[in-house]
Amino acid sequence: MEEVAVAQSLASVAPTAGEWTAVEEQVLRRRSVRKYKERQVPEDLVRRVLEAGRFAPSAGNCQPWKFVVVRDRAIIDEMEHDIRLACRLFAFLMDWRTSPIGRGPALFMHKLNATLLPNMLHPIPTGAVFAVARGDLMAFHGAPTVILLCEDVRGVSKPEVDLGCCGQNMVLTAHSLGLGTCWVGLVELLKRPKWKKRFGISYPYRFCEGIVLGYPFGEPDGMVPRELQAIDWYENGHKKIVY
Amino acid sequence: MAYISFMERFRIPTYDDPATGTTGRVEIDRELCNGCGRCAAICPGKAIYMAGKGTRRKAGFDQDFPQCMSCNDCAAICEQGAIAVTEPYWFAYRFKTLDRGPFSAPRHFPGGTQDARP
């Protein structure tokens, strides 16, 4: 196929206003909420959110998910505490700026681990782990309700993708109900015997992601700018790149 | 065509050097800022701080070591419209940022496709 140079000049993609559908509104206006009011979310709303998750598409309709809802302040605080301890261990071993083991060894550990765990130790989550260790950031952001998404590892094809669909259904529904949500990947650090036992999570289930739910602090919604993506577009025997 | 070379894949800098990657950049209009502090309260990276007292209390962006991931939460929560994220974060080498264009607000692409369907 013949490749055509960038078809649409970037100047022509200025934002335009218009009528959005109800779904577009939810998608575009929702922001991740990382500060919550203490007020608990009523049970019926949480049930509605879970219901939206239940109706997510999944490969072969395998529904490879299990939901664990935690609304107990003591348990959330304990999870927060344990995640923070794990983050402090990471920071001790790998934060080259502050580690007591010295810059050289810490950098070595950082590079080794970032090679072995490139997703977890992308620079952004690495920064988040160090921020949690310092006490600048909370894993669960003080939210009153936490939904842990567990994955049935025997799911058809790619169960993690199905969990993504399921969670997206839930966060958009929660947004339409006036709730704030945030995905919490740091639940990865709860993959330890203590918490698996506590929640009764064993094969074939594993902790995959967490979603926190609560009433947001302030008015966090709004449409904001975002980077355009280079999209390859094949049509009529040509390839073009659109933004 | 390789988007990222073999050597780049195995190079993991600390990203402390702006030549290898930078965090997001936030610009705050100090004329419009009313010092409410919401942006600083919600910033996940603690990249925004509040300084000054009374009517001179204003938001500021940490220039030395900001942990901004250009999430735009600050711009969305600001009732005064005083905050704009001007640059997204980007990285080189192993975590090289690929296939991105500049910032744009949501676009609508008017064309009447909704009504035109049979």
> Which of helix, strand or coil describes residue A77?
helix
Parallel/antiparallel/unpaired status of strands A238-242 and B83-87: unpaired
The 3 state secondary structure assigned to B2-70 is: CCCCHHHHCCCCCCCCCCCEECCEEEECCCCCCCCCHHHHHCCCCCEEEECCHHHCEEEECCCCCCCCC
Average pLDDT over residues A141-156: 96
- pLDDT at residue B111, rounded to an integer: 66
Nearest residue, CB atoms, A18 vs list B10, B85, B110: B110
Predicted complex: ipTM over 0.90: no
AA letter at B62: D
Measured between beta carbons, the chain B residues lying within 8 angstroms of A230 are 99-101
More confident residue, A216 or A20: A216
Measured between beta carbons, the chain A residues lying within 8 angstroms of B95 are 118, 122-123
Does A204 sit behind a cis peptide bond, omega within 30 degrees of 0 on the bond before it? yes
Nearest residue, CB atoms, A230 vs list B85, B95, B99: B99
Measured between beta carbons, the chain A residues lying within 8 angstroms of B109 are 16
The confidence band for A18, taking pLDDT boundaries of 50, 70 and 90, is low
- pLDDT at residue A4, rounded to an integer: 52
Min Cα–Cα distance to chain B from A223, Å: 7
8 Å CB contact of B42 and A34: yes
Chain B CB within 8 Å of residue A22 CB: no
pTM: 0.89
Backbone angles phi, psi at A55, to 5 degrees: -95, 20
Measured between beta carbons, the chain A residues lying within 8 angstroms of B75 are 222, 224-225
8 Å CB contact of B105 and A224: yes
Give every residue of chain B whose pLDDT is below 50, as ranges: 116-118
